[in-house]
A and B are shown apart, each in its own frame.
Chain A
Amino acid sequence: MGLWTLLLLLLLLAVCVSLPAPANVSITSYNMEHILRFWPDLRTPSDARFTVQIHGTRKQQWKTVAECAELTARQTCNLTSKLKDTFGYYVARVQAFRTNQTSSWTTSNLFHPLADTVLGPPEFSVSGCGNCLVLQVRDAPGPLLYQEELKDLHTEMELNVRRTRDGAEFKLKSHQQEIVISYLQPGVEYCVSITFMSFINRNSVPSEYRCAFTSPPPPQHTLFLVLGLLGGVTLLLVIVVGRFIFSRKVKNLHLPCMKFSSQSYTCLKSSLTEEDGVTT
């Protein structure tokens, strides 16, 4: 009887003092780089370690990831080379452990490498060709292991073309690295954004809008012409009015004529005789 109670007490003790399992486990992927992240429970002691196991659809058993057998709380586990079956589904689980204690397992979400990975924005350049635009898409980086798969994922693209002056936009689909968008208006600016969009993967980050002119914009000579004409006419008016006011002032102040030519003497004399005629 005593032995049983002792055993019961020991069991209870083990349960009460056991480690809490990690709170959250998730597998995220960016450009086919798969990373496992976990968040330990708040009550987990700081000296606890964590171990990771994965389980695929082909092999129905849990396999410990060798590099992630003893992780600290803040570390992550790189599963890029472990999830080789790109069309299969994987599940991961994490357990906390100390010298004599282990916690229960926390499992992650179901992960499909090709479908759930997030593809980064495509790198491309835009240039104009008269009434069209030429886009050159560059190869996106990724782990060497999955170059073929990435190439497949990067084949189908959706272009979002937008005209700057009035905001008219439309979508186009393409699967080539050199894309020509034709039937555009020459002499205006268009902005393009590309997103990877294949049947299997719809989690692509759209790229930034890149803008270019289809052809150099025509020079705005109309405005200059109108401004020039207005300026010319204003100047003419100013000259005419100024001359009118000036000549009037000359008459009122009896100023002698300024010497513009050799006829100054004649000018003075004629003004004087005029005066005589007025007063007598």
Chain B
Amino acid sequence: MLALVRLCLLFVCLTGSAAEAELTPPDDLFMLTLNTNYTLAWDWDQSAAGSDSATFTVQYAGNHSLKKRNPKWTTVCAETSGRSCDLTRSGLNYLGLYVVRVQTNLNGRHSVWKSLQFSPDKDAVLGPPSKVRLGVSGRTLDIFITDPQNSSNSSMKEHLNKLSYDIVYWEQPEDGKGSMPDTTSTEANVVTLSSIKPWTRYCIQIRSRDDFYNKTSTFTAPLCAQTEGVVPWWKIFMYFLLSLVSCFLMVLLFLYGGHHCFQICKATFLPNEKLPSYIKQHEGDYPRLIVSDYESDLCDPVIVCPESAILVINPAVDSAAPPAGLDQDRSSRHSRQNSSSSGDSGVYSAGGNSGGLQPKVASTFTDVNPGFDSEKLNMLSMNSEFKVFPAVPDEGVVDMEV
């Protein structure tokens, strides 16, 4: 009987404890890191709790302190409802070794602790360089690298002494396939690639690396630039000559065009030729060539004779007063009277002799003509009032009006 009662009690106890099930701790503990940013993430099965939401507590302690009787745990996230906790601000030493633990809390109950050992130096992921800049100088390419930054915006080289960079570069023309990439490694922050071709487009990618724990970061996005080079001397010469000639031609064209325009304008508005004064005399009237209305004013009968006839008829021509000094228009009339023309056969008959003499319609007697000497001789003979009758059979009588 007693045994039966004990058995019943045991059964009740067992079922009772089964009803109050063990609270499951979080599992899949995982440290998400980048440089000095640390985030603990975990997973917890919601189905066991039903509709109630559980909270979690996160604590950490140095590994060495676990050996003590009372290890000093520092709480980072108390009763947080999310599935992660940020330990960046907890001041963890990069070279230290820590144990981080999480516990589930639900309705006043706590689960067992689930812990994870973590050392940033060994486990934290290294980030790529924070900034990369390309510069071109002649046929070389300059690369300016800024170190990856930690959570307080200072260089990761403080924690990782021997931080180095892997640089991958290749030829990448604008339209075409890239060539095989080359790799270099350096610790410096300013790198100059000099064993590359001039006038070529190159692209680069960089990642940071630390050899102690073989940490490598991801590659940065590709950056491209075109190298330059030395311009050959004949090109410089050609450009110079071309620019010189074109400038010269342009200036010449401009000057010529301007000059031409100026000439046209001047000819149009300020002409050089002046109207004769007798045309301009009548103000208000339109200029006309013929200024008088009377015919006798305007017209003079002109008789054209052959030369020999003139010499006979008009002996009173004073050769002492050479007509060279007379006015142009007065002497023209006299000379017209005195001269002969073989062309006007209606007034006088042109003889064979007169045909030999050239008509002297020119206004002055001072024409240079070797043939005139004979005429001068004739004039002189006239002065001496000596009548000369050349043997001209066909000569006619000429009417003269003085």
Contacts and interface: CB of A to CB of B under 8 A. Distances in A.
Interface of A: 131, 161, 163, 168-173, 181-186, 218, 221-222, 225-226, 229, 233, 280
11 contacts: A131-B192, A169-B190, A170-B188, A183-B186, A183-B188, A183-B192, A185-B140, A185-B194, A186-B140, A226-B240, A229-B240
B240 A171 contact: no
B236 interface: yes
Contact of A221 (B137, B161, B192, B233): B233
Contacts of B386: none
Most chain B CB atoms below 10 A, which of A171, A185, A186, A222: A185
A275 to B, nearest CB: 16
Nearest to A185: B192
Contact of A172 (B184, B188, B231, B244): B188
Contact of B142 (A131, A171, A185, A218): A185
B188 A161 contact: yes
A184 B233 contact: no
Interface string B176-196: 000000001011111111110
Contact of A233 (B184, B236, B244): B244
Given A168-B144, A225-B236, A225-B237, A184 B244 contact: no
A171 B155 CA distance: 13
Contacts of A280: 368
B137 A185 contact: yes
Contacts of A225: 233, 236-237
B240 A184 contact: no
A170 B244 contact: no
A272 B250 CA distance: 41
Interface in B380-399: none
B194 A131 contact: yes
Contacts of A163: 190
B194 A170 contact: no
B192 A170 contact: no
Contacts of B240: 226, 229
Given A131-B194, A183-B193, A229-B240, A173 B233 contact: no
Contact of B192 (A171, A184, A222, A226): A184
A222 B239 CA distance: 13
A229 B244 CA distance: 11
A280 B366 CA distance: 12
A280 B237 CA distance: 55
Nearest to A165: B137
Interface string B15-30: 0000000000000000
A186 B230 CA distance: 14
A185 B141 CA distance: 9
A170 B368 contact: no
A158 to B, nearest CB: 11
Nearest to B231: A222
**What are the 10 tightest A-B residue pairs by CB atom distance, in nearest-first order?**
A170-B189, A185-B192, A170-B190, A131-B194, A183-B191, A170-B188, A185-B140, A168-B190, A229-B240, A186-B194
